[in-house]
């Protein structure tokens, strides 16, 4: 994302002399696609090793002269690649942070995931008109589940530890339920931080192997179980002290969320927590970055699963109607992301 415009560019953008739609509708789309190609074709990995000249890169990756020049210019403009005066190229600090396979901030799978979104998004008009999804989770194939799960793992790695530390669980609070816990990373971080906890993850069979792998890697098989099920249609039991719905409410219709909040309330012990993490509409009133992020994710969810992003007030209303006594909202990164902690 370009943010270091020249002074003249800032003025021309401000006064609509630069034709914004060309950048919004064409250039951004192509630049996003170029980023996906750079990752898929191994360019990003080669540049993460250090400096290389264009002809060497071209030979090693079997690129055309035209292709490598254009792609590299694109990546330099986006700030992921830096170029020396002697025409040598390597990943920039930003490129290393987000694309080096060793980086704990890597978001490579999100880029692969975005390629899936590109392919599907040509029927967006249909969802906008009908207010319904054109596809559903049931239509995902195993490879798409893998990319989706890995993308969610990358996001969870950025905040799972800090979220676990932000919830004031008491030593007497011992049972966690993670609705749509997918890869299990949130349940894992909670169990690592709170030694008294045991956890149940409810999700579909398609993601069980990813959760079980991470649970085993963290030696938490005795404390975390993965239960295959549908948390909307089936009972998920009771006696929990904390229930997580992370990146879940945006996939459900408002009435389903309303019912789910009541179901969660009944399943919680007194003083238990319902913690919602999601993109929250209108939570950053001054920020267009937040507006763009939250509405774009909302459009993606509408098209994919018939979901949307919700305003804080609506989420609070579900919680108040369910009789939660205390509500707290915490802003997260990126702008537009937030956490609601409802206490029974």
Ligand X SMILES: C[S@@+](CC[C@H](N)C(=O)[O-])C[C@H]1O[C@@H](n2cnc3c(N)ncnc32)[C@H](O)[C@@H]1O
Residues that bind ligand X (CB under 6 A): 137, 152, 156, 180-182, 202-204, 207, 230-232, 246-248, 251
**Least CB distance to ligand X at residue 43 (A):** 28
DSSP class of residue 286?
A: T
323: helix, coil or strand? coil
**Least CB distance to ligand X at residue 172 (A):** 26
If the CB atoms of residues 247 and 283 are measured against ligand X, the closer one turns out to be: 247
- Report the number of secondary-structure helices (H) and strands (E) in the chain: 15, 11
Helix 142-166 × helix 185-193 angle, to 10°: 30
244, 179 contact by CB (below 8 A):
yes
If the CB atoms of residues 23 and 110 are measured against ligand X, the closer one turns out to be: 110
**Least CB distance to ligand X at residue 297 (A):** 10
If the CB atoms of residues 204 and 329 are measured against ligand X, the closer one turns out to be: 204
Measured between alpha carbons, how far is 117 from 127 in angstroms, rounded to an integer? Answer: 14
340: helix, coil or strand? strand
**Least CB distance to ligand X at residue 151 (A):** 9
> Cα 193 vs. chain centroid, distance in angstroms?
23
If the CB atoms of residues 80 and 304 are measured against ligand X, the closer one turns out to be: 304
If the CB atoms of residues 76 and 225 are measured against ligand X, the closer one turns out to be: 225
Total residues belonging to the chain: 344
**Least CB distance to ligand X at residue 200 (A):** 12
Helix 28-40 × helix 65-78 angle, to 10°: 110
**Least CB distance to ligand X at residue 225 (A):** 15
If the CB atoms of residues 201 and 319 are measured against ligand X, the closer one turns out to be: 201
Question: How are the residues of the chain apportioned to helix, strand and coil, as percentages rounded to the nearest 5?
Answer: 55, 20, 30
Measured between alpha carbons, how far is 168 from 171 in angstroms, rounded to an integer? Answer: 10
**Least CB distance to ligand X at residue 228 (A):** 9
If the CB atoms of residues 33 and 208 are measured against ligand X, the closer one turns out to be: 208
Contacts of 17 (CB under 8 A, 6+ apart): 11
9 prior amide bond cis, ω within 30: no
Task: Read off the tokens for 31.
Answer: 């630049």
């Amino acid at each position: 994302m370009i943010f270091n415009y020249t002074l003249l560019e800032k003025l021309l953008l401000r006064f609509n002399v630069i034709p914004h739609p060309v950048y919004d509708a064409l250039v951004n789309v192509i630049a996003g696609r170029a980023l996906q190609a750079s990752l898929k074709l191994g360019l990003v990995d080669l540049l993460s090793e250090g400096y290389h000249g264009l002809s060497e890169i071209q030979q090693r990756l079997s690129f055309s002269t035209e292709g490598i020049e254009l792609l590299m210019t694109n990546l330099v403009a986006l700030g992921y690649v830096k170029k020396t005066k002697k025409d040598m190229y390597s990943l920039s600090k930003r490129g290393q942070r987000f694309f080096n396979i060793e980086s704990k901030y890597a978001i490579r799978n999100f880029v692969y995931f975005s390629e899936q979104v590109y392919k599907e998004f040509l029927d967006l008009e249909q969802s906008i008109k009908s207010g319904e999804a054109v596809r559903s989770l049931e239509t995902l194939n195993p490879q798409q589940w893998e990319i989706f799960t890995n993308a969610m793992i990358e996001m969870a790695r950025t905040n799972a530890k800090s979220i676990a530390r932000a919830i004031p669980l008491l030593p007497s609070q011992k049972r966690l339920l993670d609705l749509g816990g997918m890869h299990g990373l949130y349940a894992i971080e909670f169990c690592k931080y709170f030694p008294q906890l045991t956890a149940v993850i409810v999700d579909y069979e398609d993601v069980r192997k990813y959760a079980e792998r991470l649970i085993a890697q963290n030696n938490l098989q005795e404390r975390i179980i993965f239960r295959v099920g549908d948390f909307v249609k089936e009972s998920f039991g009771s006696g929990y002290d904390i229930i997580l719905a992370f990146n879940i409410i945006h996939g459900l219709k408002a009435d389903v969320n309303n019912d789910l909040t009541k179901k969660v309330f009944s399943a919680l012990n007194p003083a238990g927590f319902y913690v919602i993490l999601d993109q929250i509409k209108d939570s950053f009133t001054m920020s267009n970055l937040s507006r763009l992020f939250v509405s774009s994710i909302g459009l993606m969810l509408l098209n994919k699963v018939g979901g949307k992003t919700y305003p804080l007030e609506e989420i609070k209303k579900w919680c108040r109607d369910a009789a939660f006594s205390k509500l707290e909202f915490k802003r997260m990164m990126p702008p537009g992301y937030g956490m609601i902690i409802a206490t029974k």
